[in-house]
A and B are shown apart, each in its own frame.
Chain A
Amino acid sequence: MPLQQSTSSFYASVFMQKNATGVALFVFGLVMFCAGSVGVFVDSPILFSLLSIGVATVGGLLVATSAFGGLAGVKNDGTMFASSKNRGAVGWLMGIVLTLFYVLLYWFPDTLQYMVQAADPVSYTLRGMPADRWFFYGLLYTIAILVMGLRFIGRNRHNRYQIIRTLSVMAFQTVFAFAIPAVLEALQKPYFDFKNVWPLDYDFFYSWHLNKLTSESTPFFAGLTLGEFMLYWGIAMIVIGIPVLTYFFGKRWYCSWVCGCGGLAETVGDPYRHLSDKSMTSWKIERWMIYSVLVLVTVMTVLVILEYVNPAEYSFAFSRSLRTFYGFAIGAAFSGVIGVGFYPIMGSRVWCRFGCPMAAILGLFQRKASRFRITVNGDQCMSCGNCSTYCEMGIDVRAYAQKGEDFTRASCVGCGICSSVCPRGVLKLENDSVATAPHNKTDR
């Protein structure tokens, strides 16, 4: 026994060292980014790329793989004591740096003109052209999901639902959000992310986008051009995909298995999931905000479509300013700057919970027409609060569990962490109406 003890603490110390080295390398990579952004590496893009993206990724991988240390099981020890995870000085610093990055990316792209070159080697290889800021951002985004996805799998490897779900978001990001659009661009086809559905993809029906999709003439598939195919695909996702898939699986089929924003939240955002506010007040604010954004995007889109279909008859003076406002306030400020920049302060799903119109629609279907629910196992709950604490959507899961009531909440993205952290095996995500458990959906 003592031998086992010393080996287990030996491994613990190895993993700690690995973790610390990883963090150091990651910080080194960040410093290289900063150095590059003032033009230090202008003449040596490959070196720049290796020192910044390369070293930071290696550092990230060391941190991620150290999550495989120790025995499989819930790994929340010390979460509330960590400055980085519980709004300590490190957390605030990370929040500020992330927010600053988004502000520069959206509104002061010139300041990043050298930094963006870190993605040049990859961009030339894939697309044969230099990186622009969105390619650069997409590359970092994808690497972040892959690296932190690995970490998430390590931490949750006792639970196959978590492993499969995370592999899914990693694959969707890499293939659909990153690789396919890059290839399309290399072939000089319209940029298209097949998994990005209106209304999350709010400019899908903008005239410039529709024009682009309908401008081609070479048939691609069943007499359709590639652009037309994309157009019909996008519409099919809205009218068939959303209701049908949500009926069978709940909104999780999108939010925690496919979506890019969700993918980032589930992986990069995982260390901050417990920072979501659980109060009734924030639930009220959530419903007001998310449905307001849904109304806004719907009105905006209806106007855009009317103008597109019949420009002679329809022209709305405020349509343009509405689009500008939406793009600035919702598309950039909310989903990017606040949505991700504030991860270490407000938790990982601020955008998904308070702003995303796609989540709003999926949530309505989930509440009203879906087989998805969270089943509560009889009277086993002892009100400990782990489920509510680790709910990234700020759902007070315990409030239902301690009453022994199965429930379906519009906002639930089906990440399954409540079930995973519950120390009494009280919660289970389910798609089917098992006759053995009373299925009573409640509003609380």
Chain B
Amino acid sequence: MKNVVIIGNGVAGITCARELRKRDSSASITVISRESQYHYSRPALMYLYMGHMQWSDVMPYPADFWAKNRIELVHDTVVSCDTEIQTVTLASGATKTYTHLVLATGSSVNKFGWPGQDAKNVQGLYTLQDIESMETSTAECDRAVIVGGGLIGIEMCEMLLSRGIEVTFLVREAEYWNNVLPKEEAQLVSRHIGKHGVDLRLQTELAEIRTDTNNVAVGVRTKDGEKISCSFVGLTAGVHPNTDLAEQSNIDCGRGVLVNQYLQTNIPNVYAVGDCAEILLPGQTRGVVEQLWYTGKNQGIVAAQNICDANQLYERGIWYNSAKFMELDYHTYGQVPATSTDSTSLFWQCRNTEKCLRIAFDDQRRVTGFNSLGIRLRHKVCEQWIADGASLRLVVQQLSSALFDPEFSTDVVPDIVLSYNARATDPIPVPKRKNSFWSKLIPVK
């Protein structure tokens, strides 16, 4: 009988446990995690601080789910694992043997050796404990500085704004998230951040965090020498895989815990999934680390399949992701390089509202990817177009089937067709704007 121990109750570990239970009703399944007794949604952390939700709301499964599915939960830290005798040791001193071990230990916040980075009221945002400490360290705060212009940085801005705290946001790039987003999108988001009253400092890097005699943060100094005073510093310059446990246990690690495409480590009955795993393709020395919710989910499924001898390769499939930049919805599918230009993509931006769409294509004008801001796109449709290598013309012509905005939203298709026609030799007839009340009420297909 299988006796599977999973370390980490994040989305990767929990999805693995659920998939195992689906496939094997007799296996013993134990999930050990140090952060919380129950699995919760990490991307929902911000809403706890902002008062949109309570702790009980961010747990995707009810408390009786685990007993019903015979998944044993242990709220403890694994301090070591011995892969010879197939045993893990917990901080409490208890031990647990296994036939299969899954490492789903997630990541930790990056700190780049900045002076003062460990001072009081300086922190990143990753765990539940981070939210609790943020609650206390911002209780009296009226000015904060956030360092690092990624997805978590903007979330932290939004959180602080919700408490009426003034925020200065230091971003290394020329525009917010410009290393991922093409210029126009990045500018749109940067403007949106400004509109919310954030003091956005582009091309600005942190030199040090200034502290008082009690080692409490009192401000920062940028590399340009500017001093900004504040009583809270958020460090959001990315995360790195948690590998310490694996490293101590003769499991090979690179940036993350190294696994093959079956998500197996160098020890055959030990798997790694989610944020902590670095997936090596045959013949490569540097693998990919995927730090996303959905990749963690899919990896958890594949590891469970392989524990059940399914011999399943992990393949990411067509890339997708979504986020929300304050009030701006963001969807992306396929490949849209940050270097996209007019000759490799069709870009449309609404004149009076914050909406834009980019459709990237290859040299044969086959669509390779989508970026949308302020517009929601249908996953299945976009994915199909990319998989089929649909032509740009076809995609623009049928664009309305890919829109996922709430009913009665402004119809953006005619404007997008116009901007296609402006640069195309094969113009498309411009559809009538479906904006009337009745046409929205009774969609004619």
A residues with a Cβ closer than 8 A to B are 1-2, 4-5, 8-9, 12, 71-74, 76-82, 158-161, 164, 248-249, 279-280, 375, 377-380, 382-386, 388-389, 398, 402, 416, 419-421, 423-426, 428-432, 434, 436-438
Contacts and interface: CB of A to CB of B under 8 A. Distances in A.
Interface string B39-53: 001011001001111
Contact of B52 (A80, A160, A416): A80
A429 B406 contact: yes
A9 B44 contact: no
Contact of B57 (A71, A385, A437): A385
Q: Give the residue among A1, A402, A416, A425 with the most B Cβ atoms within 10 A.
A: A425
Interface string B318-329: 001011101101
Given A5-B198, A386-B47, A436-B378, 14 more contacts: A2-B199, A8-B197, A9-B197, A71-B327, A161-B407, A164-B408, A279-B62, A380-B294, A383-B11, A383-B44, A384-B47, A386-B52, A416-B406, A419-B406
A161 B440 CA distance: 10
Contact of B380 (A378, A389, A429): A378
Contacts of B401: 434, 436
A77 B52 contact: yes
Contact of A73 (B47, B293, B326, B408): B326
Contacts of B366: none
B327 A74 contact: yes
B172 interface: no
Nearest to A80: B51
B8 to A, nearest CB: 16
A80 B135 CA distance: 14
A189 B156 CA distance: 62
A9 B195 CA distance: 12
B50 A248 contact: no
Q: Which secondary structure characterizes the binding site on chain A?
A: loop
A249 B43 CA distance: 33
Interface of B: 11, 41, 43-44, 47, 50-54, 57-60, 62, 162, 164, 166, 194-200, 293-294, 297, 320, 322-324, 326-327, 329, 331, 376-381, 383-384, 401, 404-410, 437, 441-443, 445
B43 A384 contact: yes
A136 B391 CA distance: 64
A291 B58 CA distance: 31
Contacts of B320: 378-380
Nearest to A81: B51
A76 B442 contact: no
B155 to A, nearest CB: 10
A377 B322 CA distance: 11
Nearest to B437: A164
A80 B196 CA distance: 22
B324 to A, nearest CB: 4
A385 B166 CA distance: 28
The 10 closest A-B pairs by CB, nearest first: A378-B379, A73-B327, A425-B376, A384-B44, A8-B197, A160-B408, A383-B60, A78-B51, A77-B162, A423-B324
A225 B43 CA distance: 62
Contacts of B326: 73
Nearest to B376: A425
A428 B406 contact: yes
A434 B443 CA distance: 10
A437 B378 CA distance: 9
Given A398-B60, A425-B404, A160 B199 contact: no
Nearest to B442: A248
Nearest to B326: A73
Given A160-B410, A429-B407, A379 B327 contact: no
A436 B53 CA distance: 33
A57 B52 CA distance: 28
A9 B166 CA distance: 9
Contacts of A248: 442
Q: Give the residue among A2, A4, A379, A384 with the most B Cβ atoms within 10 A.
A: A384
Contacts of B62: 279-280
18 contacts: A5-B197, A9-B197, A71-B327, A73-B327, A80-B51, A81-B51, A160-B409, A161-B408, A377-B378, A378-B379, A380-B322, A382-B41, A386-B53, A419-B406, A429-B406, A429-B407, A436-B381, A436-B384
B380 A78 contact: no
A426 B293 CA distance: 14
Q: Give the residue among B51, B58, B62, B443 with the most A Cβ atoms within 10 A.
A: B51
A385 B58 contact: yes
Contacts of B376: 377, 425, 428
B141 to A, nearest CB: 15
Contacts of A375: 404
A69 to B, nearest CB: 13
Contacts of A426: 322
B41 A384 contact: yes
Contact of B404 (A79, A382, A428): A428
